Structure 1
Amino acid sequence: MKNGYDGTGPGAFTPDGCAVDLYTRLPVRDEPQIIASAAPPPATLLELGAGAGRVTRALTAMGYAVTAVDESPEMLAHVTGARTVCSSIEDLRLPDRYDVVLLSSFLVHAPDPAVRAALLDTCRRHVTPGGVVLIQREGVDWHERVPRESPAGDGIARALASDDLGDGTRSIRFEYEFPDATWTQVFRSRPLTPEQFEAALSEAGLVLDRYLTSDGIWTCCRVAD
């Protein structure tokens, strides 16, 4: 596993501690509807960090032409109905541009600012003129509201801890309990205030257009003029 990232439970794991079998079980939530509110189908959509296709399948069913990107071939093997590209997001250089570029799963909170900058550069490089970049952020109390739990299909997802590492990052510990299996995941996050988020966008040549949800988690961004 990568430094500061780990996972336990059955099946294969990605280098950042994500359990492939777990991610095939996690249900889609309201992400497709939020995405459609900013850029309705049909549209071309680049999904960065698609994982096992949890959101991908719903997007293709709605009429989006999706290109799903993930660095894990084991994850991508579960994606159906979309073009797949096995690559890290930071290194992605596709010849195409897309009406919608999607960076979800709180990836913008990468602990290394250089990685965050590379993720946002990839978003800007691949969006069409006039297109949108949709980015999922952590909620304002995401790190304070622990422990907490929420349903995850026929299982339970628990945020168990968010520990301050003293360098602007936090170590996050999750547990996923299902009737027949339990997984844990440990990863790192760099919290961003709204001002820090907008500054990071500006450095990448992007600008916040609007918040898509009242909790500030989903944002619609565009290429800066």
Structure 2
Amino acid sequence: MTTADGSPVEVYRLLPPAGEAEIVHAAIPAGAAVLDLGCGTGRIAHALMALGHPVTAVDDSPAMLARVRAAKVCSRIEDLQLDRRFAAVLLASHLVNAPDSAPVLAAVARHLAPGGRAIVEWHPPEWFDTVDDGGGRLGEVEIRLSGISREADLLRATVRYAARGAVWARHFTARRLDQPRLEALLAGAGLRFGRFLSTDHTWFSAVSGL
């Protein structure tokens, strides 16, 4: 089973946590409530709950949400309109690099409490400049990238997942953002860049820019 964007639900269910929750946990207050946007099957949400954070998980796929044990909302991120704000809003899976991520960042901003932090995973510009066909393994899932093409600031590729004798493929497009363009994109949503949260600069925080 796949979602509307081609994400394979069964593969996402098999992917283990890879330290993402610990990065988020270290950047926010103990016990802070987290809004997880694009939660998938809850891989990060469940790890955050184990670290003491109440999580509200959002995804537009009922099949993904069926695997989630947190409080959950079925919605596209850009359409989300909850009647509360959160101390932390999580935007993982490089969603900020989508060709049009402005509506997603607007959703982040309108659900971020005063003094709260957005925690964002992105592909830094160095990734776009150096990534090539190849792959690796995360848990029992083999992941391979192929068919990479670049046009202006866009990168298109196919990611293939293999596990338990099955193979799934998903095509994606990502936009290269350097630091000034990232900060301008955040500012357009009323957010301000905070700091990098990982040594490889793939995670950063943002705060309300107002």
TM-score tier, shorter chain, comes to over 0.9
- Letter of the aligned partner of 1:110 in structure 2? A
Give 1:154 deviation, angstroms: 1.4
In the alignment, what sits opposite 2:141?
Answer: 155
In the alignment, what sits opposite 2:18?
Answer: 29
In the alignment, what sits opposite 1:83?
Answer: 71
The answer as to 2:124 corresponding to 1:124 is: no
TM-score, structure 2 length as denominator?
A: 0.95
Q: Could you tell me which of 163, 173, 190 is aligned with 2:175?
A: 190
Report if aligned partners of 2:124, 2:177 keep a CA contact under 8 Å in 1: no
C-alpha deviations, 1:117-159, integer Å up to 9, x for none?
1111111100111000011110333233212322121131112
| Unaligned segments of structure 1, at least 5 residues | 1-11
- Letter of the aligned partner of 2:165 in structure 1? D
- Letter of the aligned partner of 1:206 in structure 2? L
Distance 1:219 1:161 in 2: 28
Give 1:15 deviation, angstroms: 1.0
> Structure 2 matches for 1:1-225, cutoff 5 A?
12-80=1-69, 82-112=70-100, 116-143=101-128, 144-164=130-150, 166=151, 168-225=153-210
C-alpha deviations, 1:20-46, integer Å up to 9, x for none?
111111111010110011014301100
Report if aligned partners of 1:17, 1:187 keep a CA contact under 8 Å in 2: no
Distance 1:133 1:162 in 2: 30
Distance 1:216 1:42 in 2: 25
| Structure in which a larger fraction of residues adopt helix | 2
TM-score, structure 1 length as denominator?
A: 0.89
> Percent identical across equivalent pairs?
37
